[in-house]
């Protein structure tokens, strides 16, 4: 792993993002020293406050963001406003199209759906807000019961904690299952390895 070029993971921040949507996956990818460089990216410089009040420092704004191999789009109540943010959607369209893997957590899938890149592809999202997210991608093949869905370079996940399962699945794909298992063990995380495991779809009346 140390002989490979480090991949750069860009995490998109916006006011009102969900804290665990960001830091759950960041914990997993950040457990790969020398393999992943993590950069926080936002429309404006400074700090961005999550829905839970945590302020996160921005490394790059859209205009000076370097090449990204991996892209992570969190959800949160802030997605309601960002779905109509043409600057964010335009930047996301360009960067997600070029990324090796573009990942979303929770309602962050609505932002990726707005780019049109998910049209004709399978995707999922937070089950509590499923209909709202799906309204932003009428040509997306929405999967109601799934912990996460991988379709080509795009990987979308269900609500909040599902991002960690998705991140480990991507780690297993790009760096191998044994490494993903070691990360889950090191973080003492009970990894749901089955992408179809989703009791929350039933709890919210989707199936």
Options 48, 71, 72, 106, the catalytic residue: 106
Catalytic site residue 106? yes
Per-residue three-class SS string for the chain: CCCCCCEEEEEECCCCCCHHHHHHHHHHHCCCCCCEEEEEEECCCCEEECCCCCEEECCEEHHHCCCCCEEEECCCCCHHHHCCCHHHHHHHHHHHHHCCEEEECCCHHHHHHHCCCCCCCEECCCCCCHHHHHCCCCCCEECCCCCEEEECCEEEECCCCHHHHHHHHHHHHHHCHHHHHHHHHHCCCCCCCCCCCCHHHHHCCCC
Q: Active-site positions?
A: 106
């Amino acid at each position: 792993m140390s002989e490979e070029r480090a991949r750069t993971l860009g995490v998109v921040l916006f006011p009102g993002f969900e804290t665990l949507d960001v830091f759950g996956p960041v914990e997993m990818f950040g457990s790969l020293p020398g393999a992943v460089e993590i950069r926080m990216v936002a429309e404006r410089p400074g700090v961005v406050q999550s829905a839970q009040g945590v302020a996160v420092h921005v490394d790059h704004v859209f205009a000076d963001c370097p090449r990204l191999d991996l892209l992570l789009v969190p959800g949160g109540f802030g997605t309601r406003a960002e779905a109509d943010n043409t600057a964010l959607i335009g930047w996301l369209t360009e960067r997600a199209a070029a990324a090796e893997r573009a990942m979303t957590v929770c309602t962050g899938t609505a932002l990726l759906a707005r780019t049109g890149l998910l049209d004709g592809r399978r995707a999922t999202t937070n089950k509590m807000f499923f209909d709202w997210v799906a309204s932003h991608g009428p040509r997306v093949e929405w999967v109601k019961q799934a912990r996460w869905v991988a379709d080509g370079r795009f990987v979308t996940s269900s609500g909040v904690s599902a991002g960690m399962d998705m991140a480990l699945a991507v780690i297993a794909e790009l760096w191998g299952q044994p490494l993903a298992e070691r990360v889950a063990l090191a973080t003492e995380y009970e990894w749901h390895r089955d992408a179809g495991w989703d009791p929350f779809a039933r709890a919210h009346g989707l199936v």
